[in-house]
Amino acid sequence: MGYKRTTHTVYLVHWPEINVFKIGYTEFQRYRAFVVRGANILKLFPFPTSTEAFDLETICHDVLWNLCEGGFDTPQEATPYLGNRGGGYVECFKTPADLMPSEIWPYVEMLIRQKAAA
């Protein structure tokens, strides 16, 4: 599935069926392939440069890897949702049980602020 090149974007998508979310970086609207597989787009963050986009993606992953359970154990388990043989499955996280999808990004922001203050 090819998508036209767009701006540097960090995306947050959520699969309600399995209550898993993914934060990733793309220049090619890759998140659209996730929507076809049942995800909802929760946030899109456009950036003028890839460096700025990667910085946000990296910070998000750093705080989430320490506090959230992985969304998938293997690439094969992730393939029905991510396509591409499950590539990017380590960027997926189980939504904490007490969070609604609309609360995921505020939760991530809170974790980033806490890390910055430490």
**Per-residue confidence (pLDDT) for residue 39, from 0 to 100:** 97
Domain count, the chain: 1
In a domain, 2, yes or no: no
In a domain, 3, yes or no: no
Q: Is the pLDDT of residue 86 over 90?
A: yes
Residue partners of 107: CB distance under 8 A and separation at least 6: 96, 99
For residue 5, the model assigns a pLDDT of 72
Mean pLDDT over residues 19-26, rounded? 96
Within-domain flag for 1: no
The answer to whether residue 112 is domain-embedded is yes
Residue 95 domain-assigned? yes
- Whether 69 maps to a domain, the answer reads yes
Share of the chain above pLDDT 70, in %: 97
H or E element in which residue 31 lies = helix 31-36
> Could you list the residue range(s) of the whole structural domain that residue 44 is in?
8-117
According to DSSP, the residues that pair with 26 across neighbouring strands are 9
Q: Count the helix, strand and coil residues of the chain and give each as a percent rounded to the nearest 5.
A: 45, 25, 30
Does residue 16 lie within any of the structural domains? yes
Q: What is the pTM of this model?
A: 0.91
Beta strand residue intervals within 16-91, DSSP E: 20-26, 40-47
pLDDT band per the 50, 70, 90 thresholds, residue 90: very high
